[in-house]
């Protein structure tokens, strides 16, 4: 006996990836519904070797469905998630809408699976920000060993984090560089993204940080430990898929780089590729399509008493979004619903 599963936002980058990963991981699905807005109604999407037509999110009845994976943005989620939850369908939401609600668990299954039972308060579970998800997978096993005091992270985030429009803009601007008659002004991004980097993701806040940077701080505290101090600089780079992060960690106790490497090798969801030679590390291009979070360049930081540096790379459409949502669905099934 399997689950009746809804994917809302099935025609977007993340929604399509959710369908792919549900099929790849052989999630026990009895019935699946792909939902989209009216303008995408009837669009065909793939689920394994099947093709299914999208249904209208606005008129869909969630009654009798076990869980719904949402990839429709905060505004639409605010309308439809409460409807689904009230109908008894557990919502796993990829937007930022519910992440900071104390009554809604924010889950990365490798890090805080014990919080799954908190879903019952509102029948909703939040999926973290893409840049946070991959980082906390690496932080948690190290925190368990040596207690993290402070994290300084600089991100190198791909354009797919801004959706299909972001990917299209990079593609069109890159082509235009080689065609002197073309001009593709920025629309999705604040400045030209082709052959450039932009230190600005999401809106600016009063203290000068951006919302993306604030998310990494708040979500790390909620998922791992509220006492960890985090400071982030989030940067958009001209990469299609795959987020990278340079992470500097300060611990309460000394942690040797070799022990850290061993800890991370044993940790769930992580692949350590760390050879001190040319090419002995992972780049975003190499992580595309993979489930793992890759860790490279592990080394002591001699400028602080107990410091380490590392390089963290992951497919943001997978671990940063769709994979994590499916892993939450698997956890929900295993620990709570127990049907599949």
Nearest to 35 by CA among 15, 13, 65: 15
SS3 assignment, position 132:
helix
Q: Which two tokens mark 23?
A: 């099929």
Q: Is 280 annotated as a binding residue?
A: no
CA distances from 199 to 62, 203, 307 (A): 40, 11, 25
- The pair phi, psi for residue 53, each rounded to 5°, is -95, 140
List the beta bridge partners of residue 96: none
- The pair phi, psi for residue 40, each rounded to 5°, is -105, 10
- The pair phi, psi for residue 257, each rounded to 5°, is -60, -35
Q: Is 39 annotated as a binding residue?
A: yes
Per the annotation, the verdict on 243 as an active-site residue is: yes
Q: Is 99 annotated as a binding residue?
A: yes
Cβ proximity of 248 and 151 under 8 Å:
yes
Per annotation, catalytic residue among 89, 234, 243, 312: 243
Dihedral of the alpha carbons of 200, 205, 208, 212, in degrees to the nearest 10: -40
Q: Is 12 annotated as a binding residue?
A: yes
Per the annotation, the verdict on 117 as an active-site residue is: no
Rounded-to-integer distance, Cα 71 and Cα 68, Å: 10
Q: Is 182 annotated as a binding residue?
A: no
**Helix, strand, coil percent content, the chain, rounded in steps of 5:** 35, 25, 40
Q: Are strands 67-70 and 55-56 parallel, antiparallel or unpaired?
A: unpaired
Q: Is 196 annotated as a binding residue?
A: no
Q: Is 227 annotated as a binding residue?
A: no
Per annotation, catalytic residue among 130, 234, 287, 312: 130
Cβ proximity of 7 and 33 under 8 Å:
yes
Q: Is 11 annotated as a binding residue?
A: yes
Annotated binding site for NADP(+): 11-14, 39-40, 160-161, 180, 316
Give catalytic residue positions.
130, 243
Annotated binding site for substrate: 157, 236
Annotated binding site: 11-14, 39-40, 99, 157, 160-161, 180, 236, 316
């Amino acid at each position: 006996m399997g689950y009746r599963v809804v994917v809302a936002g099935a025609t977007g980058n993340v929604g399509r990836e959710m369908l792919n990963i549900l099929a790849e991981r052989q999630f026990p699905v009895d019935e699946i519904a792909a939902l989209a807005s009216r303008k995408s109604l009837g669009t065909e999407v793939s689920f394994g070797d099947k093709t299914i037509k999208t249904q209208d999110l606005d008129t869909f009845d969630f009654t009798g469905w076990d869980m719904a994976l949402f990839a429709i943005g905060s505004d639409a989620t605010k309308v439809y998630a409460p409807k689904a939850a009230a109908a008894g369908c557990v919502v796993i939401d990829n937007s930022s809408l519910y992440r900071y609600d104390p009554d809604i668990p924010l889950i990365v299954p490798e890090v805080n699976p014990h919080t799954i039972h908190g879903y019952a308060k509102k029948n909703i579970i939040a999926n973290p920000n893409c840049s946070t998800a991959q980082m906390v997978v690496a932080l948690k096993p190290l925190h368990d060993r040596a207690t993290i005091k402070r994290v300084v992270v600089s991100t190198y985030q791909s354009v797919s984090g801004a959706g299909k429009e972001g990917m299209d803009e990079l593609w069109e601007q890159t082509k235009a560089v080689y065609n002197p008659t073309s001009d593709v002004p920025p629309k999705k991004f604040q400045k030209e993204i082709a052959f450039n980097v932009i230190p600005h993701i999401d809106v600016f806040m009063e203290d000068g940080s951006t919302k993306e940077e604030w998310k990494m701080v708040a979500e790390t505290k909620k998922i791992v430990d509220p006492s960890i101090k985090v400071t982030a600089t989030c940067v958009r780079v001209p990469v299609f898929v795959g987020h990278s992060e340079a992470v500097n960690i300060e611990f309460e106790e000394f942690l040797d780089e070799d022990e850290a490497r061993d800890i991370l090798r044993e940790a769930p969801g992580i692949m350590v590729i760390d050879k001190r030679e040319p090419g002995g590390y992972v780049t975003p291009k190499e992580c595309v399509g993979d489930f793992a979070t890759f860790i490279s360049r592990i080394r002591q930081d001699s400028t602080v008493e107990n410091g380490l540096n590392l390089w963290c790379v992951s497919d943001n459409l997978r671990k940063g979004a769709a994979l994590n949502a499916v892993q939450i669905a698997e956890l929900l099934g295993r620990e709570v619903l127990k049907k599949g």
